[in-house]
Structure 1
């Protein structure tokens, strides 16, 4: 094995190797089965249309299998030992194997995240120029009472986030490209400008949050059941992508998931959800800066450990819990705040809300969207995943999230 190959494979642990081998064996078995069928005596009795359908189905399954192999390789290699080391990352980026697997962008993102913040290129981004017809603005406010000693660190984190959102990445990350950022210290906020994808650009560009669509969309303009299943799957896969490169979102809720409308069409494009509103998102192992605001609108999506005076630092499992609340909304087609008894909205404790959501996911959700989906949501809300001890990179949690959430969501998606 070449030295460069050792860099990306030598850090794999036994469970990673077993998982990679398992998905590869599935592809091999599929090919072998197709070959047996091709040479079977019954094949000559099939008409041309049936042969074409069988070949088409084989190619579809082969494509899915290849994607699964690549996704498994990517997830395990990015979580392998040594993938936070700058020398190893630089070597991997220029490795032919990494290029062939289409993983260079992911390694570059991890390299950006692993680089000391003062060395990142966020200062090189242009500052915000408001009013562009092909851009949307997002504002990140912070408390005027923030500890002044924390402000430089917060600004560095904003620069890093802008740098990440500017960098080239696959559509699977479901994020908009950042064009610029600015800091308005007198207004206690940061401004980001994001590019509207070209297919949605128009003088009257329209976009709307998932929360708003659930609340207000008429029946004819709502997403179908198949579209809702796919939205949840794409969001879960995007979160896995961000976690695999070592980045936490910290602001997952249905207000921060947006859809654009193609010019001239009545419905929004539900094939393309975008994960927006990275709430002072940060590298996984960095400490949280400041405290999230006590806002009932967003607290309802936060893990109980992230609420109240003794709230804990944000971790991957907290992003996953927030995703579970959003998927519950998608499944029941009801916003989380409307699931509570109106009389208890101001008095509900975080654990009471969690119990309410878990009960809804186990009792109501299977009837609306199926058991596999309900199981995935319930697992996110419980936040256990059967992982009692994990490594520093969270590779055990990543593996459990793949099998207990993403794979279950995938079960309900209809083939294209």
Structure 2
């Protein structure tokens, strides 16, 4: 069954220009026997330089040293809403992303090789994507904090629940928090370890990570991004989506709770 997902996803990504997935121009795909997963090859967007793209995570980390890479407020809202729309569209088409994080949001440079095109964020890292009705292998994940901080608490270690839209939405909430605070999830995690736990632990437990994110969303987001954006992030991190998961109303509810609220119009209204 797993082997069928690759060709299915390839066909979807090939026609992604007809959707709102914010994917790069699809080129081809291949099976990586060593990693036991499919690899997907994409082309650079048209009218961009061949310079290596940068991720959202890269820009957050480097903006103190290079202020030109610190996105303006309207740009942050645009990126947040664009990624939220992309995830909503992907889910509506019956797929789970499974690797949503700031590292998977890529920006390319204009032909001059110096100016970054912040108006066109792209969603990448589809290696583990699968259909909503597909089967998730419940295997232990390698411990990597840069990935762990984006995972729903139910998905740490050896998961006992199959991956669902709720888990993608949680990861999106972490990215919304990062955009709003302009701080990486790993930095938020490490600050809690350093200042609240006095460095007594190397890493937080899964529920502690979630609570740290929720606390920052409740205490720090509103005065930076407004209450609507704050509500969207909290809805992703801790929202009650159970009654909508298998419902036709899910897409509409996600649009209302998240996509509309990360629009800059909600901030200035």
TM-score (norm 1): 0.58
CA contact (8 A) 1:157 1:280 kept: no
The residue that corresponds to 1:301 in the other structure is: 150
Residue of 76, 80, 105 corresponding to 1:257: 105
Structure 1 residue 400 corresponds to structure 2 residue 256: no
Residue 17 of structure 2 aligns to a residue whose secondary structure is coil
Return 5+ residue gaps in structure 2 as ranges. Answer: none
Gaps in structure 1 of 5+ consecutive residues: 1-152
Q: Quick one: higher RCO (CA 8 Å, sep 6+), 1 or 2? A: 2
Does residue 213 (structure 1) correspond to residue 59 (structure 2)? The answer is yes
Q: Give matches, 1:151-300, under 5 Å.
A: 153-170=1-18, 172-186=20-34, 188=36, 190-200=38-48, 202=49, 204-217=50-63, 218-264=66-112, 266-289=114-137, 291=139, 292-300=141-149
Q: Give the helix-richer structure, 1 or 2.
A: 1
Secondary structure at 1:346 match in 2: coil
Superposition deviation, residue 173 in structure 1? 1.4
Deviation of 1:311 (Å): 3.4
Q: 1:368 aligns with which of 201, 224, 241?
A: 224
- Deviation per CA, 1:228-284: give whole Å up to 9, x if none: 011001111111111111111000000111000112153311111111001421111
User: Which protein is bigger by CA-based radius of gyration?
Assistant: 1
Which among 187, 205, 212 is matched to residue 349 of structure 1?
205
Describe the superposition over 1:202-224 as per-residue Cα deviations: whole angstroms up to 9, x where unpaired.
4x333111111110131123211
1:329 aligns with 2:178: yes
Deviation at 1:168, TM superposition (A): 4.7
1:64-75 to structure 2, matched below 5 A, reads none
Q: CA RMSD in A?
A: 2.2
Aligned to 1:409: 262
Q: How many aligned residue pairs are there?
A: 258
Report the Cα offset of residue 177 of structure 1.
Answer: 2.5
Query: 1:173-201: CA deviations, max 9, x gaps?
Result: 1011221122242465543210111111x
Instruction: Write the distance in 1 (CA, Å) between the matches of 2:212 and 2:239.
Output: 15
For 2:176 and 2:45, the matched residues in 1 are separated by 25
